Structure 1
Amino acid sequence: MEIGIVLDASRLARAPLETVELARLAEERGLDLVVVADEATGRSAGLDPWTAAVWLAGSTSRIAIGAPAGAATTPDPTDPEAPYPSVITKAQDSIDILAQGRIISDPSGWVVAPRGAKPEELASLAEADLPVVVPVDSREDVERLAALAAGRDHQGGVRRRSTAVRAQRKPNIDYDGVPASLADTAVEPGDPPYRSLSSTYLRGGAPGLVLRPRTPAEVSDAIEFARRHRHLPLGIRSAGHGISGRSTNQGGLVIDVGAMNTIRVVDPARRLVRIGPGATWKQVAAALTPHGWALGSGDYGGVGVGGLATAAGIGLLSRNHGLTIDHLRSVDLVLADGRQVQASREHNPELFWAVRGAGANFGIATSFEFEVDEVGEVGWAQLVLLSTDIEQSLRRYAELASSAPRDTTVFFVTGQPREGMSTIQLFAVVDNPDPDTVVARLTPFLELGTLARQQVVMTPYSGVMGNAADVGPNGQQGFGEPNSRSAFLPAATPEFAHDAAAMLRSGGVYFFELRAMGGAIADIAAGEASFTHRTPAFQLTAMGQNNQRLNAVWEPMRPHSDGLYLSFETDRSPERLLDAFPAPVLERLRTLKRRYDPDNLFRDNFNIDPQTTKEPRA
């Protein structure tokens, strides 16, 4: 039984110091909760509840604080007491940071007992498994309750969360049923690590529970728990950087494999490396550099291995060494039924085919085995140019990037022009150890505009990936929902450059990127993996603030495109699946989905529904 006190709001207003002393005494004597409310109405009459809560939280260190909040309804500007939803939300968020989840704002999180209630009355009220709070006026009242609390039975060795944390539990999650193997690392709303795990790089979230397995067996346990909670959204997370992925959600379940981040060389002669899904590509590059090796991996080192290695991996080494999935030799997975399997060309080859491009639909990867490349120092360039004619700059970039030797990969990034001037950022890797060759490869790109800033260095590939910031103890801090569109371009034609320039000038896009493809990417047959887009010259990504407006300005891009890259697409309309996977490929994936995930447990990221019999229109 948890016991707390109710402090009268009017008394706190009249005698704040003396009343705070009662709260401190309750904490010293081991009570669980202090509620500030008017005894008659149950509300904090005469005091702002959040101000009172912060005052008490700042005056104590452990005890939970109950501050009944009014419903966040449409505000009435004529009513000085009417709560404004945006203000309440900001206040709650601020208090959660300052008081680390100690505040309970919902009065259903406790039961109020009559003043002077006897032990048997308190025990009866405690049957609701909520803290029982009793109005107090004096130190003697607090001491009486403390004496009752001292006689409570405690379950030795069983972790029991605080009153404030349990008050934030979602009613549709069996928190007490979390498998024992995961209980110590599971994170609920209100737990100290929760804020660092709720959001991702670009997306805000508030999951109801985050499970953090450390072994394949614990992943199986997490999946079993997820099967019992099919009514919840389910997110799978490695590092939480994915633009398209749903590795967070609102009120659902997240399985976070970030702790599975080991990197181990298993066969030096064959350059075979085993990597956990929670490792970042920055960590992978740093581990491979002492061997003179590298593994191409997108363009940002903070991305997790798990998401990219089951999508494709179009990066700054791709034109010379192929996609990340081209180096994958096997993957260990936990399937929707909890089975642990390995997929490779020799074992479960159909599953291995599916995972390389559509992995999010088939299981949770717990380990990857890659054959990496010998890569010495490379030329790494970050150039900033200013252009007064973005259409011409796009046309010239397309000509240069697509005709460059395959050791040269250049990505083009820009946004909305300002006062007729476009800022162009070029990110380039020249996989050649000769500085003169690097300069010769990059010099033609200076035609795109007036050079404003440059940084060109010779570095191991770890120096390229090392530019990413480490995810610190505060985790990712994304918010809202990203709006992103993706396309593959067979060629960046003059007509495309004209329409793209118009889109940029519209103001509907704030981020625009062209990734040069070709070279080694096209050396692999389209049917080798479920990712089949081997022949495009470029991959395009555009992001906007407003989804409806982005859709409107994006429409002229569709005639220039042939397919899309799911990693950078947030439109989850069923039609987008046919853009990502040609119809025969999608039907093959559906057949495999019916075999490996017939109940569609893994459904929250561009779902390949096993029950669909007719493909959506493109």
Structure 2
Amino acid sequence: MLLQAATLSGLLLFSAASDLRDEFTFPAGPGVTAFFPGDPGYANASRAFNLRFTPDPVAVVYPETVEELADIVKIGNAHRLRVSARSGGHSYIANGLGGGNHSEALVIDMGKLTKIAVDPSTKTAVIETGNRLGDIALALNEYNFAMPHGTCPYVGLGGHAAYGGYGFTSRMWGLTLDNVLSINLVLANGTITKASKDVNSELFWAMRGAGPSMAIATSIEFSVYEAPASVIVFQYNWQLDVENAATALNTFQNFVVQPNLPPEFGAEIVLTRGAVEGNVSFGLTGAWHGDPNQLNGTVAPFLAAMPPLNAVTFTGGNWIESVEFLAGSTLNTSTAPDYTDTFYAKSLMTPQASPMNQAARTAFMNGLAHEGFVSNMSWFFQVELYGGANSKINSVATDDTAFVHRSSMFTIQFYASSFNNEPPYPDEGFKFLDDLVDGITSNSPADWDYGAYTNYMEDKLEDYQTRYYGSHYDRLLALKKEIDPTGVFNFPVGIDD
């Protein structure tokens, strides 16, 4: 019976693919490049960034115009397929390929929509969502402009701007989505429209925090900023035992809420395997975008409360040099292929009003110093500074966008890769990260108002509605039912019922 069901499923998929191929072919359809199962190039087109997932989409299609994209959405809708837009493809759970290991998705790759138009007079830029962050940084730099975004050059703009978009300038300029002025998009019924604070305002609100569940953004208008004249990338490192590492994290919590902390200070605590069992490699890494002469004075109170340093480095340069240094590679993504990994990731957004207590911090560091040391996994954890004094992220009202976590101090990214970054992913990797997060939350107050970050989306978060969307979930769900009642753009952990 199981064999018969599998055979029937395969026949249905083959039939759907055959019908789609005819509809995509000119003159009956838009005449776009498309890869179907069995085609040369399909395996590469359908490969996930996270090799823990092996999706098998019905087709991967490459529109060159917004009109072609709209036609593809209509075709997918007519065939009752899930339609997924892939910008850079870096979703941790393969959402751009339909999410997880699903095979019913029609994937629209945005890679041919890469126009960037900059208006120096208004300090705005309209950027198509097939662009990668590295290429955007280079294009804006031609005008001596910049915008807040992450450090990985291969991340696509679409998902990054839809779910948040944190970078070392975010305390100064906000998240990527905080700088969105308007969005050109395609709805689930194939309608081409626009959203801004004055046009489709409710959709505009939802797109900034839950965009992929609502529509496909084709291009986004952003506010941009004059690039800083100089940037210093700083890297401080300590080797600490469990007790001192837990205390050091508390020292950082106390430091960042001091009222004179400048917004030009962007930083994260980087936690990696210690030199010996029982130790943690504890690093403070970030970028200083202010007067170079004021960095030492800014960091001095934190360093004075810390144990002696093991190492410190400063790398100075202009804006684009700092972006390239933090990327660890060229920013021009056309010069080399993207990489892949096999990993599990989780996130935890901690409330500024209730910082991590001693028991939670100790449990966290104990897991790193012992289980982390003996693990065969390659891992790193980043305690990213969202809040603290004078943070632009926290200055935005909670209800201004669908991104709900405006009172967070940190977003902690937990990331562990398999041996040699290749499949299969071991069970110990899931347990290691799950235990670390549980160690923090179970040692925190029962009413601890923590969240999770949608750009680090995971596939094992049971209460995702609360952790990702918080008090905004019901409002998002109501809009979802209105504009996409059949769930064309649904994801496994998106806005659905």
SS of the residue 2:475 aligns to? helix
Q: Does 1:500 align with 2:364?
A: yes
Question: After the TM superposition, which residues 406-555 of structure 1 pair with which residues of structure 2 at under 5 Å, given as runs?
Answer: 406-417=263-274, 418-432=276-290, 434-442=291-299, 447=306, 450-452=309-311, 454-461=313-320, 463-465=322-324, 467=327, 469=329, 470-471=332-333, 475-478=337-340, 480=342, 482-490=344-352, 491-505=355-369, 506-507=371-372, 510-518=379-387, 519-544=391-416, 546-555=429-438
Task: Quote the Cα distance in structure 2 between the aligned partners of 1:200 and 1:605.
Answer: 16
Task: Quote the Cα distance in structure 2 between the aligned partners of 1:384 and 1:193.
Answer: 45
Q: How far off is 1:563 after superposition?
A: 1.6
Q: Which of 139, 159, 169 in structure 2 is aligned with 1:287?
A: 139
8 Å contact from structure 1 (residues 196, 474) kept in 2:
no
Aligned length: 441
Q: Does 1:185 align with 2:185?
A: no
Q: Which residue of 2 aligns with 1:201?
A: 49
Go from structure 1 to structure 2 and tell me whether the alpha carbon gap of 1:279 and 1:402 turns closer, same or farther (over 3 Å shift): farther
SS of the residue 2:89 aligns to? coil
Go from structure 1 to structure 2 and tell me whether the alpha carbon gap of 1:538 and 1:564 turns closer, same or farther (over 3 Å shift): same
Cα deviation digits, residues 21-77 of structure 1 (max 9, x gap): xxxxxxxxxxxxxxxxxxxxxxxxxxxxxxxxxxxxxxxxxxxxxxxxxxxxxxxxx
Q: Which amino acid aligns with 1:535?
A: S
Go from structure 1 to structure 2 and tell me whether the alpha carbon gap of 1:522 and 1:416 turns closer, same or farther (over 3 Å shift): same
Q: How far off is 1:475 after superposition?
A: 4.3
Task: Quote the Cα distance in structure 2 between the aligned partners of 1:524 and 1:487.
Answer: 16
Go from structure 1 to structure 2 and tell me whether the alpha carbon gap of 1:473 and 1:564 turns closer, same or farther (over 3 Å shift): same
SS of the residue 1:512 aligns to? strand
Q: Does 1:399 align with 2:264?
A: no
297-306 vs 174-183, greater mean Cα deviation: 174-183
Q: How far off is 1:274 after superposition?
A: 0.2
CA RMSD, 1 decimal: 2.9
Task: Quote the Cα distance in structure 2 between the aligned partners of 1:597 and 1:175.
Answer: 22
Q: Which residue of 2 aligns with 1:556?
A: 439
Q: TM-score, normalising length from structure 2?
A: 0.80
Task: Quote the Cα distance in structure 1 between the aligned partners of 2:340 and 2:23.
Answer: 27
Go from structure 1 to structure 2 and tell me whether the alpha carbon gap of 1:240 and 1:380 turns closer, same or farther (over 3 Å shift): farther
Q: Which amino acid aligns with 1:218?
A: E
Q: Does 1:263 align with 2:263?
A: no
Task: Quote the Cα distance in structure 1 between the aligned partners of 2:228 and 2:347.
Answer: 35
Q: Which residue of 2 aligns with 1:581?
A: 469
Q: Which amino acid aligns with 1:458?
A: G
SS of the residue 1:450 aligns to? coil
Q: Does 1:176 align with 2:15?
A: no
Task: Quote the Cα distance in structure 1 between the aligned partners of 2:339 and 2:223.
Answer: 34
Q: How far off is 1:528 after superposition?
A: 0.3
Q: How far off is 1:435 after superposition?
A: 2.2
Q: Which residue of 2 aligns with 1:606?
A: 493
Q: Which residue of 2 aligns with 1:314?
A: 166
Q: Which amino acid aligns with 1:564?
A: A
Go from structure 1 to structure 2 and tell me whether the alpha carbon gap of 1:411 and 1:225 turns closer, same or farther (over 3 Å shift): same
510-519 vs 444-453, greater mean Cα deviation: 444-453
8 Å contact from structure 2 (residues 150, 166) kept in 1:
yes
Task: Quote the Cα distance in structure 2 between the aligned partners of 1:421 and 1:548.
Answer: 20
Return the index of the structure with the highest Cα Rg.
Answer: 1
Q: Which amino acid aligns with 2:396?
A: I
Task: Quote the Cα distance in structure 2 between the aligned partners of 1:449 and 1:283.
Answer: 40
Q: How far off is 1:431 after superposition?
A: 1.6
Task: Quote the Cα distance in structure 1 between the aligned partners of 2:351 and 2:286.
Answer: 19
Q: Which of 586, 590, 602 in structure 1 is aligned with 2:477?
A: 590
SS of the residue 1:534 aligns to? coil
Q: Which residue of 2 aligns with 1:240?
A: 89
SS of the residue 2:142 aligns to? helix
Q: How far off is 1:367 after superposition?
A: 0.4
8 Å contact from structure 2 (residues 232, 292) kept in 1:
no
8 Å contact from structure 2 (residues 208, 402) kept in 1:
yes
Task: Quote the Cα distance in structure 1 between the aligned partners of 2:336 and 2:142.
Answer: 30
SS of the residue 1:441 aligns to? helix
Go from structure 1 to structure 2 and tell me whether the alpha carbon gap of 1:333 and 1:547 turns closer, same or farther (over 3 Å shift): same
Cα deviation digits, residues 370-399 of structure 1 (max 9, x gap): 111223224231525231232233223333
Question: After the TM superposition, which residues 247-258 of structure 1 pair with which residues of structure 2 at under 5 Å, given as runs?
Answer: 247-248=96-97, 250=101, 251=103, 252-258=105-111
Task: Quote the Cα distance in structure 1 between the aligned partners of 2:256 and 2:137.
Answer: 25
Q: Which of 322, 344, 363 in structure 1 is aligned with 2:196?
A: 344
Q: Which residue of 2 aligns with 1:380?
A: 232
Q: Which amino acid aligns with 2:360?
A: F
SS of the residue 2:247 aligns to? helix
Q: How far off is 1:569 after superposition?
A: 2.9
Go from structure 1 to structure 2 and tell me whether the alpha carbon gap of 1:436 and 1:571 turns closer, same or farther (over 3 Å shift): same
Go from structure 1 to structure 2 and tell me whether the alpha carbon gap of 1:234 and 1:451 turns closer, same or farther (over 3 Å shift): farther
Q: Which residue of 2 aligns with 1:214?
A: 64
Cα deviation digits, residues 520-554 of structure 1 (max 9, x gap): 11211111011121111111121346324432332
Cα deviation digits, residues 249-304 of structure 1 (max 9, x gap): 54343211021111111x32221110011111211221222333211012323211
8 Å contact from structure 1 (residues 412, 514) kept in 2:
yes
Q: Which of 305, 308, 316 in structure 1 is aligned with 2:157?
A: 305
8 Å contact from structure 2 (residues 151, 167) kept in 1:
yes
Go from structure 1 to structure 2 and tell me whether the alpha carbon gap of 1:248 and 1:256 turns closer, same or farther (over 3 Å shift): same
